Amino acid sequence: MPSNVPTFAQLLQACEFSAVHLELRDAYAPTERFEAWRRGERIDWDDRVSWWHPYDQLITDTVARGVVIRRARIISEPVSEYIRWEHYVTHANVTAGEQVRWLPRRRTTDLSLPGNDFWLFDNRLARVHHFDGNGAVVEDEITDDPDLMPHLAASFERVWARAIPHQTYKI
């Protein structure tokens, strides 16, 4: 990313009240953590030091400042192997302070949704993720387009209202 584009940490640190993340894909580029899970390795959730990452601390610190962080995932059912893994590791997101919900794709037909995953900060600035066909990030676009912000905010809220809380959604 060019140096004038804020990092994710900078975007969260500037956030005052709300950060929301909408995920639309059934799979993303594999990571080492995903591959380890596929090999049967499991996280010892009681050993927080072994799995706690700087991202988790960033979320915790942001929530401690009073920022509400919500993540909604639109998923196909039956779920992909990747989504099964994401559901498993969402324990870390929730422990860090995120609110997470899941929405089966079949319940979204009447919703007007953006074509890309995004983060929306305080309903005024968006980080839009552009992926290649294999789920790797090609570019993160930062925008404050005043015509786009209401659409992203409304799309997220419609999904959030229908989605199932993580603690309730069973794979």
Q: pLDDT above 70 covers what percent of the chain?
A: 98
- pTM to 2 decimal places: 0.96
Domain 8-165: top CATH class: alpha beta
Quickly count: other Cβ atoms within 10 Å of residue 23's Cβ: 19
**Which letter, b or e, does each residue of 51-72 get, where b requires 16 or more Cβ atoms within 10 Å of its Cβ?**
eeeeebebbeebbeeebebbbb
Give CA–CA dist 51/41, Å, rounded.
13
Give CA–CA dist 154/80, Å, rounded.
27
Predicted pLDDT of residue 5: 84
pLDDT level of residue 4 (50, 70, 90 thresholds): confident
pLDDT level of residue 1 (50, 70, 90 thresholds): very low
CB 160 within 8 A of CB 99: no
Predicted pLDDT of residue 3: 56
Reported as a single tens digit per residue, the pLDDT across 24-74 is 999 999 999 999 999 999 999 999 999 999 999 999 999 999 999 999 999
